[in-house]
Structure formats: C-alpha cells, structure tokens
Chains A and B, each alone.
Chain A
C-alpha cells in the first residue's frame, strides 16, 4: 500500500502552509455555500414550475451574494428570555464541526488541508459534535418552538448517527483502510457503490436525516414549528446556521462521493492531472446535492415517531446485518462478485420494503383515542 501524503509544505514552512490551506478551504466553502443557496433556489424553482431568482444580475446569479450582504448588516436580535451566552455561542458550535470535517476531505490527490490515516474515523467523531450547537440553540432561545426543534434534532441526529457510521464501517471493511485518500484510490477501477449498494442506500438515508433534509426535516419543520431551533435567530447568527447547513450538505456530498463514488479517482485513477480530479470530485458531489434537492422538492415530511421507528426498527438492523455479512465474506475470502450480488439484493429489498409500506391497509395511529377513552383532563 502506497503512503499518501498531501505533498510538501508550501514555501517549506509547515504553519504557513496550514494557514494558507485553511484560508483557501474557508474561501471556497463560503463561495460554494453562497452559490448552493442560489442553486437550490433555482433547482427547486425548476421543479415547481417557477423561475426562481431572476432580478439580481443575469439569471439572478448575484442573488446569493445580495442575500449574504443583507444578512451581514441585519439587526442581530436576542430575545429577553434567551440564555445569553448559550444563545450567542450556539451558531458557532454548530458551524465549527462542519468546518472541521472539511479539513480532511481529499478534493483531489494531495489536495486538502491534512490527510489523516484515520480520516473516516475523524469524520464520524467530529460530525457528532454538531448536535451540541443545535441543542444549545434550542434550549438557549427561550422559545418553545425552538425547544421542540432542538429536542427533535437531538433525538433524530443521535439515532441516525448509528446506521450512518455502521454503513460507512462496512465500506471501510471492504476498503481495508480508514484513510480517505486511500479509499478513493482503491476505487480507481470500480466505485464502492457497485460493491456496497445497500451501504450506499443506508448512508444516503441517514445523510438526509443528519442534514435535516426532506423527508427528515422534522427539526426545522416549517409548517409545524416554524424553523425549529433557529426560529429566534436573525442576521449574522442566523446566517451562521444556514452556512453550517449548506456547508454540511457540501461536506457530506464530497464525503459520500469519496467513499462511495470513487471521489477523484474513479474513472482514471491518479494518471490524469489534478484539474481533472478536482473536476470529478465536484461533479460527483454536485450529483449528490442535486438528488438531495430533488428529494426535498417532492417528498412530504415524516412524523417524529415514524422517523424513529424507521431508524431503530429498520435501518439499524439492516446496517448491522450488512456488517456481519461483510465480515463473513471477508473472513472466508468469498468472491467480491457474490458480495455485490447479496448487497444488491439487500438494497432492492430495503427499497421495496419502504415502497410496500405505502400500500398497507389503514391502521389507526397508536395514540388516537387513547386520551379520548380515558377522558380529557383540561388543565
């Protein structure tokens, strides 16, 4: 196995090299997020037979920049009922973990801030921290909608972290490494989505949930709790939440494309130069983002108990079964083609299961009538 490094430090000075790379990542991320908001509005508008932003520049391409400027100069309101320090620090606590994830992602061979040999593990560990900021926002805002949103977010994100991590572990078992750069390079001839489609389905579902995207946008449900945990935020702090949301969408897309779609390496390995690799990474991650937006434009929202049932009764079982099957195949050295076949069967079965639930006969919801039977006690 070749040792992959992110090249020699620029100018020969390690700390200057680190600072420069971080600055580039921050700049690219900000730009990407601004254009992701614009892109989402355009894509969703397309699904909804609208035009989307058209007035700010040709085809409204400066809309994102105009929005960002507006948010920067907007008044930053803090409600009286809010817990001051918790409230003010929450946006940063949400944003920092997302940014930390970006530090290890390989955008092309030797392109990134730092290459960690435990990169995949690092991503798991850091992503879990996101919840802290959201819970802080929910509890510190002094608003009941925010509280409901924060608690929903905590329950949802902690639950979905398990299938997410287990599905990625299944891939790591096949790859034999936790180094993201190496995982990408291993897929030079065929991406892991062909070998591990079930893991991909689980990963994608859990990813939607971690990102609070439809149909799992329960913590930010606009028609129920009006934005959830960031309902009380405005101005720059609100935009930090948006930045975190879109940055994590972007980070997850790149992460997913590296782990499942071969990242920079898939069709050509490292034989082609870096602009090609960079282009591949961006195209694949844009594909991810497009599917996420597509799902958002067409799917209604699940209810919190259905969401938790789906995680604990379906996804976790399936992901652990996947882990065991992978372990058996790798231990006994059975052929990878058979493993892929089993995985495809599993993925199709999971999707068919989800589809079949829609055709079930009517069943009265668990709680309907419970309070009615026992007599309602008005407070």
Chain B
C-alpha cells in the first residue's frame, strides 16, 4: 500500500529554482488538526517544505444560520447569532439587535447603549486575547502565551457570568435594550478588570513581541499591499495592518461610538507581525473605550425600552447594518415582508471573506509559515460556515 497514488504525483523538471527533479506531495491539514482553529481543512500541495498550492475546504460547521433566522421570531433568532463568532458572541447579537431596531425604528435607552458598548468591547478584547494565545501556540511557544491570554479571558468571562448569567453565549441583549441592569459592584469590578487586561497585554507583549525568534518568523511574512487587501475584500485588523484606517466604528458610527474618543491603530507592511501589533493596539484602545463609557454613562435609568410591542411585527423594509466585528466588518442584511419573521436574513461574515485570501497568501511560503498565516487571519469557523 502506497501513500502516493501515481495519479496524484506532480513532477517538476527544472521549473523551480532548484535543478533536481522533485515530486509534489499533498498534505491534508485538518479538520482535526491543532492549528486549524476549529473544523477547517486545507489541502496543501508541498514541494519539499514549500507550499505550491493550497485548497481550503469549509462547511464542517454549517448550521444554516440564515435559514434558521428566517424561520424564527426576530427575538428568538438572536440566540443563534451568538454562535457565529463564538469568541465574541455579544458583538454578533449586538449586530442583529441593532439591525432589527433600525428596521423597526425602535429606540434604545441611553444607559442600555452604554452597557452594550461596554459589553461589546469586552467581547472584542476577549476575542483578541484568544488570538494572542492561539497565535503564540501556532508560532510554537508551547502554550505559555495561551495560558497568559486565558487568565484575562477567564476574568472577562467571570464578569459576563455575573452580568448576564452565562459566560460564552450570554444572549444578554434584547431588541430595545438589554435584559437586565448591571449588578451593583459592576463599575468597580470592571475598572479592576481593565487594569488586569492592560497588565495581560503588557505580559503578552513582553513574552512575544520582543522575542527574536518570534520577530524572525513573523516580520516580512506574507506582506499584503493596500490594493491587494481591498481587492480581496479584507476587513478588520488585516486591512488596518496594511495601513488603511478603516474601522466601521469611525467610518459609519453606530450606537454611541460617535461620542467616544479612540484611535484606529494601523500597520505599515501588512505582514503577519503588523497584524499582531494592530490587534495588540486595538485591544488597548478597547480598554480606553470602556473607561470612557464607565465615566460617561448615566448611573441610573431604564435599560429596556418600555414601549415595545408584545409581538414584533415589521410590515416591510430592508436594512443593511454594518458593524465592526472582532474579525472585521460584520454586517447583517434584513428584509421584512410582514409578520414576525424576517423574509430574508443575511450575514456578511468577516472571517469568511478574510479566509478567501488564504490561498494567495500561503502559496510560495513554507509549511510552517502557512500555519502562521492561517493563524494570523484569526478566523472563527462558526462565522465562516455560518
């Protein structure tokens, strides 16, 4: 029994810069592979250690989110949207809520807006910390970055549990506000958490950013020009790493982001190292946003619009609502044609669009770098497969 069927062999004769004949080998990476961050599979064709071709296969986690949402009440469907970007569930349900509110013209109380922004930014930090940990493991630091990142994630989840009663999929938002008010000690705990997060960012920065091996591996790896990034439809940290300050929170502000002061960190090269740095800086900006919210938010008040209808029916209309998800532009398209269900629900998921550039980025690099490039895309398979 041979592991290379004859028909799968591709021979190179003087095609590469090496003079001798080589035989291509296909290596299947995933769906059960430690570096694919979920159930993603890519078929690498390698010439020795160099990747000649890369064919991504997705769909292992397809749950039919859009169709499910079209068959559920506007309010019931929200729980499914948590499960798209499951590292930052609140951002996703926030996008759904805000889209429905815009479609139905529902007002959200002031305090609820601030609570939403705080929770969404905490989720963003949470998701970025997951990236720092997993990316460190991809580069090969044996889980130290993982546990460093996990400490802060654990604390953020503890806070979520206290606020919403659940850690990963809180389903805390409601159309027209949030489920319940914050617990009494929230502000003090949140400020303590922000200090802890900043310490965690510093620890991760000190562990990896200055490490010669890490810099050797990441710098100059798969550089993306701004033109390429726009043509491939990259959004989020990948786009900002190329030097384009494109952040929906600034460009097309939603919720209360127009009142908050924060900067958009951008890179210069668009390489893997810049993607890492952009995310580090972004997580820090998120802590600043949360701090402002804590300062400015009304201390008392309603958190749920009291004038909501018993059943939410929307006659007709459509909306395309863009938000800045943790991985990029997370947008919801909704079309209503009467009744309590959307006629059409559509998700523009950033991971899916970012992943489509994988082949272009990976080809010509080493196998070890292919893993790092995949890690630097920071995909979440719940979002890719919907």
Q: Which residues of A contact B (CB under 8 A)?
A: 44, 47-50, 80-81, 142-145, 147-148, 152, 214-215, 217-218, 221-226, 296-306, 354-355, 357-360, 362-365, 367-372, 376, 378-379
Q: B142 near A379 (CB under 8 angstroms)?
A: no
Q: A300 near B141 (CB under 8 angstroms)?
A: yes
Chain A residues lying within 8 Å of B35, measured Cβ to Cβ, are: 223-224
Give the CA-CA distance A299 to B144 in the complex, in Å.
9
Residue B195 at the chain A interface, CB threshold 8 Å: no
Selected from A144, A298, A304, the residue in CB contact (under 8 A) with B141 is A298
Give the CA-CA distance A215 to B220 in the complex, in Å.
20
Residue B193 at the chain A interface, CB threshold 8 Å: no
Produce 1/0 per residue, B110-148, CB < 8 A to A.
000000000000000000000000001111111110111
Q: B368 near A367 (CB under 8 angstroms)?
A: no
Q: A306 near B216 (CB under 8 angstroms)?
A: yes
Min CB distance B309 to A, Å, is 50
Give the CA-CA distance A305 to B216 in the complex, in Å.
11
Q: A367 near B364 (CB under 8 angstroms)?
A: yes
Q: B52 near A371 (CB under 8 angstroms)?
A: yes
Chain B's closest residue to A222 (CB) is B34
Q: A371 near B363 (CB under 8 angstroms)?
A: yes
Q: A358 near B211 (CB under 8 angstroms)?
A: yes
Give the CA-CA distance A143 to B33 in the complex, in Å.
14
Sorted nearest first, the 9 A-B pairs with minimum C-beta distance are A301-B140, A358-B212, A48-B147, A371-B364, A300-B139, A379-B10, A223-B35, A362-B220, A358-B215
**A142-B3, A218-B368, A300-B208 in contact; A362/B142 too (CB < 8 A)?**
no
Residue B331 at the chain A interface, CB threshold 8 Å: no
Chain A residues lying within 8 Å of B53, measured Cβ to Cβ, are: 376, 378-379
Chain A residues lying within 8 Å of B62, measured Cβ to Cβ, are: none
Q: B1 near A142 (CB under 8 angstroms)?
A: yes
Chain B's closest residue to A215 (CB) is B213
Chain B's closest residue to A217 (CB) is B140
Q: B3 near A224 (CB under 8 angstroms)?
A: no
Give the CA-CA distance A359 to B216 in the complex, in Å.
9
Q: B142 near A303 (CB under 8 angstroms)?
A: no
Tell me whether chain B's interface is mostly helix, strand or loop, or mixed.
mixed
Chain A's closest residue to B143 (CB) is A48
Give the CA-CA distance A284 to B364 in the complex, in Å.
45
Q: A357 near B34 (CB under 8 angstroms)?
A: no
Q: B144 near A48 (CB under 8 angstroms)?
A: yes
**A215-B213, A379-B10 in contact; A365/B220 too (CB < 8 A)?**
yes
Chain A residues lying within 8 Å of B222, measured Cβ to Cβ, are: 368
Chain B residues lying within 8 Å of A357, measured Cβ to Cβ, are: 212, 216
Q: Which residues 78-112 of B sit at the A interface, judged by CB distance below 8 A? A: none
Produce 1/0 per residue, B256-292, CB < 8 A to A.
0000000000000101010000000000000000000
Q: A301 near B213 (CB under 8 angstroms)?
A: yes
Min CB distance A6 to B, Å, is 39
Q: A364 near B368 (CB under 8 angstroms)?
A: no
Residue B45 at the chain A interface, CB threshold 8 Å: yes
Min CB distance A146 to B, Å, is 10
Q: Which residues 1-42 of B sit at the A interface, judged by CB distance below 8 A? A: 1-3, 8, 10, 17, 24-28, 33-35
Q: A365 near B216 (CB under 8 angstroms)?
A: no
Q: A304-B366, A372-B360, A376-B363 are in contact. List 4 more A-B contacts (CB 8 A).
A: A142-B1, A299-B141, A358-B216, A368-B364
Give the CA-CA distance A365 to B365 in the complex, in Å.
8
Give the CA-CA distance A364 to B139 in the complex, in Å.
18
Count, A-B residue pairs, CB within 8 A: 153
Min CB distance B61 to A, Å, is 21
Give the CA-CA distance A152 to B46 in the complex, in Å.
14
Give the CA-CA distance A302 to B2 in the complex, in Å.
32
Chain A residues lying within 8 Å of B189, measured Cβ to Cβ, are: none
Chain B residues lying within 8 Å of A305, measured Cβ to Cβ, are: 49, 366
Give the CA-CA distance A222 to B137 in the complex, in Å.
9
Q: Which residues 349-386 of B sit at the A interface, judged by CB distance below 8 A? A: 360, 363-369, 371
Give the CA-CA distance A357 to B147 in the complex, in Å.
28
- What would 9 A/B residue contacts be, using CB atoms closer than 8 Å? A44-B142, A47-B144, A223-B139, A224-B35, A224-B367, A299-B140, A304-B366, A358-B216, A367-B50
**A48-B144, A367-B50, A368-B222 in contact; A301/B139 too (CB < 8 A)?**
yes
Selected from B3, B26, B28, B363, the residue in CB contact (under 8 A) with A372 is B363
Residue from B27, B45, B269 with most neighbouring chain A CB atoms (10 Å): B27
Chain A residues lying within 8 Å of B301, measured Cβ to Cβ, are: none
Min CB distance A52 to B, Å, is 11
Residue B232 at the chain A interface, CB threshold 8 Å: no
Chain B's closest residue to A214 (CB) is B142
Chain B residues lying within 8 Å of A48, measured Cβ to Cβ, are: 143-144, 146-148
Min CB distance B189 to A, Å, is 21
Give the CA-CA distance A83 to B363 in the complex, in Å.
32
Chain B's closest residue to A310 (CB) is B216
Residue B167 at the chain A interface, CB threshold 8 Å: no
Residue B214 at the chain A interface, CB threshold 8 Å: yes
Chain A's closest residue to B271 (CB) is A362
Chain A residues lying within 8 Å of B148, measured Cβ to Cβ, are: 48-49
Chain A residues lying within 8 Å of B138, measured Cβ to Cβ, are: 223
Q: A144 near B45 (CB under 8 angstroms)?
A: no
Give the CA-CA distance A306 to B216 in the complex, in Å.
8
Chain B residues lying within 8 Å of A304, measured Cβ to Cβ, are: 49, 366, 368
**A297-B142, A379-B53 in contact; A358/B210 too (CB < 8 A)?**
yes
Give the CA-CA distance A371 to B360 in the complex, in Å.
10
